[in-house]
Amino acid sequence: MDVADEILVGGHWRKGGGEVIATRDPATGEVIARVHGANLEDVERAVAEGARAAADPGWRDLLPHERARYLVRIADLIAERADDLARLQTADTGKSINETRALVASAAGTFRYFAAALETMEESLTPPRGPYLTMSLHEPIGVVGAITPWNSPIASDAQKIAPALAAGNAVVLKPAEWTPLVSLALGRLVADAGLPPGLLSVLPGPGRTTGDAIVRHPGVGKVTFTGGTVTGRTIGAVAAEKIMPVSLELGGKSPTIVFPDADLDQTVAGVLFGIFSSSGQSCIAGSRVFIHADVYADVLERLVRHTERLRVGPGADPATQVAPLVTHAHRDKVAAMVDRARQEGARVRCGGRAPDGPEFDRGAYYLPTVLDGLPNDSATCQEEIFGPVLVALPFTGEDDLVAQANDTVYGLACGIWTGDHRRAWRVARRIEAGTVWINTYKQFSISTPFSGIKASGIGTEKGRDGIRSYTRQKSLYWGLTAEPLPWAGV
């Protein structure tokens, strides 16, 4: 297969100067494309052109509704090319076609939302304390570095690019090394929408070189990152050295809580969706399920029975529920963590291995797995596996539950299943997580802010605050009197 010669650098499509990246179909292991990644010179050029484009009066002086038009055009093109984008993402990431279609629709919706939000954003007049008028304004940062993960690239790309452009910035996007194809396709689409050249660059490449260069570049005024906590800490340290704002959406070990008065049919379906959709490759996956002792045996039996019925197969098959993992190396890492769980004393209630059959031999498949018999302080219950692995734990009292659910370095998400709205409110307020779902799971609205706490990150994405996070705030004072300031003695 020919090497792809073009990446988007400062508004120009050109051969990247970095190492060649081979992308593989996780269902077959076959190479589907080779991409020249970006090198340090590409990063320099992208940042310089981004700074020039952001400062150009043709972009800098646009009124909000004029910038919004670009976002709407991008949304329209995403919708027009939705099927091609979904199929490309399935081939690149292994995700099921049903999921990638939803992610593409989500990306279009993200651009539409931020276009609408941009049209209605207001600055504020603040109460004065003297003979002057005071106001608070928000202005663009300049060049934003956006680093996105491999598990849902087009949706993550949109959640960073759309609000950053809405705020008036330029964006240097670094997609994950494993899955660059749909991000490059999005770059072509954005160019086709007529966005002024230089406002978006797409630089695939390794995090240790390309990503690090973007984060450290003095011309980058903010970095937004979605990915692992270890990398997030490194980015945060660099940001502290630069005195640079940063948004970090990091890992999770999210609890799902089942009370005895829950609708168990609805609950079991929700728990399975929360962990096994995306093949468990989701930072918000409900990977620890706490089940009240009164219904523990019943709920666990139902979970195992329905897990064993889930359809494992290639992402291109619309009937697939659990698709292959993103790479064989990642599949092997998940398998090793399940083996460690066995050593810790876990009972493997189902799964715990790759599926049998010649149709699975070449792919990065792993069966959806349910474990129990481990304490909450075990490594398996504390560390993010990022695969289709669910650990069940019993609880009795509410205080004990909250203590266990919060006993983790993470604080990203939580699910609560109960028929008692008072209990749901009480427990939701006590759980340390940025998002709590009650009698549902893994549902999102672009209009609702998303954030993590503790080792799950800092900063806010989505919602109207999502635009503000890509701005600098400035205060203006307008003197309303002709009298000189008394201190001057005039």
The burial of 422, by beta-carbon neighbours within 10 Å (0-12 exposed, 13-18 middle, 19 or more buried), is given as: exposed
* Nearest residue to 88 via CA among 1, 154, 15: 154
Is 359 annotated in the active site? no
User: Considering 49, 99, 160, 381, which one is annotated as catalytic?
Assistant: 160
Q: Which one from 49, 177, 253, 283 is the annotated catalytic residue?
A: 283
- For residues 11 and 30, give the distance between their C-alpha atoms in angstroms, rounded to a whole number: 31
Q: Where are the strands (E) in 115-273, listed by range?
A: 124-126, 132-140, 143-147, 170-174, 200-202, 222-226, 246-249, 255-258
Picking from 140, 395, 56, 426, the residue whose alpha carbon sits closest to that of residue 255 is: 395
For residue 300, how far is the Cα from the chain centroid? 30
Dmax (CA) for the chain in angstroms is: 92
The enclosing H or E element of 350 equals strand 347-350
3-state secondary structure of 376: coil
Cβ-based burial of 336 (10 A; exposed 0-12, middle 13-18, buried ≥19): exposed
Q: Which of 49, 99, 177, 249 is catalytic?
A: 249
C-alpha count within 13 angstroms, C-beta hemisphere, residue 220: 29
Is residue 19 part of the annotated active site? The answer reads: no
The residues, ordered by sequence, that sit 6+ positions from 33 with a Cβ below 8 Å of its Cβ are: 1, 4, 22, 23, 181
| Residue 186 to residue 156: CA distance in whole angstroms | 12
User: Of 393, 405, 190, 188, which Cα lies nearest the Cα of 303?
Assistant: 393
Give the burial string for 136-162 (b: 16+ CB within 10 Å, else e). eebebbbbbbbbbbbbbbbbbbbbbbb
In angstroms, the Cα distances linking 226 to 249, 252, 457 are 5, 12, 9
Return the active site residues. Answer: 160, 249, 283, 461
